[in-house]
Each structure stands twice: as structure tokens, then as C-alpha cells.
Amino acid sequence: MTDYLSMIHPSLRDILIEELSDELLVHYLLCIRNRGAKFRRQDPFTEKFKDDILTLFAFFQQYPESFASTIKDRWRLVDWLLEAEKGEVVNVYEGFKREYWDLNLSWVEAVLRSRDDFERSMVSAVKAKAAELSVERGAETIMGRSIGDDWSLLDYLGQREHYIAGIPDAYMWSTV
């Protein structure tokens, strides 16, 4: 960062810091949404998550204007959803949704399914709350960018268009 900060106009510094934090958070959220990820209550996942956050905070505390106003709060919301007791998940979701109007229900469901204490009733309760909750739309937030795309592997292989077009797999893989 020190290489960039000497070249950037001071008015753009805070914007760069916040954008860097947002991109890191988006990628972290996408990793949490990963279907293969499982958070077991007996494992110290909350300690690992907190360790990741403390490492992140140690870096961003060098920039107190951005850190105190936005970065710290955004990362804490994610922690609340993972650590919440089963009975509190709906309340955490409601607070999360009020803060981030474009919070995608599929992301919340994926995070809840990654918990080892997952029960379908948790998702049902969150969906019921989502149906009754009315929030005012605004500018896109960080959660709108963390929806993810299940096509990422196919995109990497350059085969998404073949798959969508219905071209047989044998032909598709023979052309790679």
C-alpha cells in the first residue's frame, strides 16, 4: 500500500482503502457461501474467523478514517450470522437485511446450510421473516456484490456457452 499511497491524491486514499476492504470482503463471503464449506460447532471456526478479522483489522487500522467508519462494521455483521444461536438467526437476519437491503436470501441460506447445527426450520424462519420484511431500496451495497456465480468453473474452462446451448458433453470436452 505504501507504494500506491505516495502516488495517489490524498482525496482518493480513503476510497482506495474502502474498495480494497470491500473486494476482500466479497471474496471472503463467496468462500463462506461455498457449498463444500462446513462450520462445525466443535471446531474453533469462530476463533479462526476472528483471527482472520483481527489480521484484517491490524492492516486497516493504519487508515483510521476508513477503518472506524465502515470497514469494522461490515466485517462484524458476517461474524454475527455465523455465531448466532439457532433461535437468534432470524433477528440477526433482520438486522442484516435492514443494513444491507440487497442481501440475497440464497447467500444467507448457503451460509446457514454450512453450519453443522443446520435445521431446515432455520431457513424457513428466515424466509418467513424475509416475506414480511419491507426495506427501502438504495444504492448497491457490498452484499449485492457477494451473490456469486455458480458458473465460475465452467467460465474458467470457457465452456459456459456450450453448456447453456445444450451441446453434448462429449463434443464439448473433445474441443477443449
Q: Could you report the per-residue pLDDT of 90-136, keeping only the tens digit for each?
A: 999 998 888 888 888 877 887 787 777 778 899 999 999 999 988 88
- The closest alpha carbon to 105, from 117, 95, 97, 115, belongs to 97
Give the residue-averaged pLDDT of 156-166. 41
Give the residue-averaged pLDDT of 60-76. 77
CA distance 157 to 154: 5
Specify the CATH number for 2-145; select among 1.20.120.160, 1.10.357.70, 2.60.120.920, 3.30.70.890.
Answer: 1.10.357.70
Q: Is the pLDDT of residue 65 over 50?
A: yes
Contacts for 20 with CB less than 8 Å, ≥ 6 apart: none
DSSP state of 135: -
| Domain ranges (residues) in the chain | 2-145, 150-176
Higher-confidence position of 173 and 8: 8
Q: Could you report the per-residue pLDDT of 2-56, keeping only the tens digit for each?
A: 777 788 888 888 888 888 887 887 787 777 666 666 666 566 666 777 777 788 8
